[in-house]
Structure 1
Amino acid sequence: MATKIEKKIVGFKVRDEEADKPSEAAAQPVATQPAEGTEAPAAMAEVIHMHESVERPEMLLGSTYKIKTPLSEHALYVTINDIILNEGTEHEVRRPFEIFINSKNMDQFQWIVALTRVISAVFRKGGDITFLVEELKAVFDPQGGYFKSGGRFMPSLVAEIGEAIESHMRMIGLLVDPEMEAHQKEILDQKRKEFESQQEKKASASSHAEFPPGAQLCKKCNTTALIQMDGCLTCLNCGDSKCG
């Protein structure tokens, strides 16, 4: 293509096409070598977290909890199976994967099956699943709850299932009790010693008492020796009796 020159030529320069090409050494990336005495960093292992796509292995570790209530002659057995993620690494964790509830009593079969399926789905969803404990323990039976052995009140059967799940989460380390502060421990220890001291004094006084436990105070001799005898209140110390 012709180019019209409108200005006076005062100089010129010959272009070297070979010099304008980048050299092969410059075009290739330079590989950095690790310094002597150091090792190349290993590829970071992928950490697996609980999610819906985690496949169920052939074997799972499980724990079974027995629930016996005064509402039924048959006990419930709550089985929670766990999956171990990142086994053999520093990121190894044990997480609940599924739950089953079995009993000979078939009266509650329908809602128990529904409950186990929902809880198992929440387990496999991943994330923070500890909220299940509070939600289940907050369920109250409109017909009233019951007392467990030891005097502990349970508002409903669902609440006791939630307590079983809570015990399991504590066992695998998913729930941890907050550590009590030092001054709170000192106060509790002091109260415990005071109570034990009072109980020892009462036991000592009752062991040295001349009259049977449960005796009432006699107004005549001011002695705790008044008992019910032959239908009359009789003092074993002074012999005073309401029957004469």
Structure 2
Amino acid sequence: MTIKINKKITAYNVVTEEDKAKAEDAATAASTRSAEVVQLGEPLSRPDKLVGNTYKIKTPVTEHALYITINDVIMNEGTPQEHRRPFEIFINSKNMEHFQWIVALTRVMSAVFRKGGDITFLVEELHSVFDPRGGYFKKGGKYIPSLVAEIGEVVEQHLQEIGMLKKPGPDEHQKKLIAEKRAEYLERQTQDSETEGSENSAFPPGAQLCGKCHTKAAIIMDGCLTCLNCGESKCG
């Protein structure tokens, strides 16, 4: 093959077999680096003994109670940095209706636990699952959108108990304001002896669902919708 050069030649260089080999080695190394898999953390190995808690939940959507067991592994044992983190989760029940997807869910969650790193995002992900047939209210008036969200409630409670999540709640000023609002509201309602059913709730009958804490504890006070559980107010 003939190549015609139309420009004036000012310099030249002879490519040797050694230069070709170096170029091939550099290309191979570059492709190898691009194909490397970056591990975010080493998976935890299972020790012979684990500590954990078992939680019982009874919901209107299941005939039998669910028993959720979360086992923890102790990290940095015997040091000032000693702490617990979830390692595996099991869910057991007499009801076999949800068996397949519950087993799949617990295996995926256990794999996330063992991978290490931040696992608190699971709480939000589980809470955001909604049942197309509708949710239900727990004792105390809190709305639960699905059975999966109920499992998320248990995971959140466990993470709070072992210190991986901070328990949400109003500060001292908000607690004082809530107590004052509740006392004022109950005082107004003492004149009315009629009740609106037998709702098992610690909050006044007829309270609305709070959009922040999902509890039927929001009432109208001084023309403003105020939650008696978390202190959320439409008036700021």
Select the structure of larger CA radius of gyration.
1
Residue-by-residue CA offset, 1:131-181 (whole Å, 9 max, x unaligned): 100100110011111222333321110000000101101111111035644
Q: Tell me how far 1:71 sits from its aligned partner.
A: 1.9
Which residue number corresponds to residue 147 of structure 1? 137
Q: How many residues align?
A: 156
8 Å CA contact retained: 2:144, 2:150: yes
Distance 1:81 1:142, change over 3 A: same
8 Å CA contact retained: 2:44, 2:116: no
Structure 1 CA distance for aligned equivalents of residues 66 and 46 of structure 2: 25
Pairing partner for 1:202 from 181, 191, 198: 191
Pairing partner for 2:81 from 88, 91, 107: 91
Distance 1:179 1:167, change over 3 A: closer
| Structure 1 unmatched ranges of 5 or more | 1-49, 207-212, 215-244
Counterpart of 1:79 in structure 2: which amino acid?
T
Structure 2 CA distance for aligned equivalents of residues 152 and 178 of structure 1: 15
Which residue number corresponds to residue 35 of structure 1? none
Structure 1 CA distance for aligned equivalents of residues 179 and 111 of structure 2: 44
8 Å CA contact retained: 1:51, 1:124: no
1:202 partner SS: coil
Residue-by-residue CA offset, 1:11-57 (whole Å, 9 max, x unaligned): xxxxxxxxxxxxxxxxxxxxxxxxxxxxxxxxxxxxxxx95433211
Structure 2 CA distance for aligned equivalents of residues 139 and 127 of structure 1: 23
Pairing partner for 1:136 from 126, 132, 139: 126
Counterpart of 2:159 in structure 1: which amino acid?
M
Residue-by-residue CA offset, 1:203-223 (whole Å, 9 max, x unaligned): 8xx6xxxxxx79xxxxxxxxx
RMSD, aligned α-carbons: 2.3
Structure 2 CA distance for aligned equivalents of residues 139 and 88 of structure 1: 39
Displaced runs of 4+ in structure 1, greater than 6 A? Answer: none
2:178 partner SS: helix
Query: With CA pairs under 8 Å and 6+ residues apart, which has the higher RCO, 1 or 2?
Result: 2
Which residue number corresponds to residue 167 of structure 1? 157
Q: Tell me how far 1:189 sits from its aligned partner.
A: 3.1
1:69 partner SS: coil
| Structure 2 unmatched ranges of 5 or more | 1-39, 196-236
Q: Tell me how far 1:196 sits from its aligned partner.
A: 4.5
1:80 partner SS: strand
2:191 partner SS: helix
Distance 1:124 1:196, change over 3 A: same
Q: Tell me how far 1:85 sits from its aligned partner.
A: 0.7
1:25-36 to 2 correspondence within 5 Å?
Answer: none
| 1:189 corresponds to 2:145 | no
Structure 2 CA distance for aligned equivalents of residues 146 and 103 of structure 1: 20
Q: Tell me how far 1:93 sits from its aligned partner.
A: 0.6
2:148 partner SS: helix
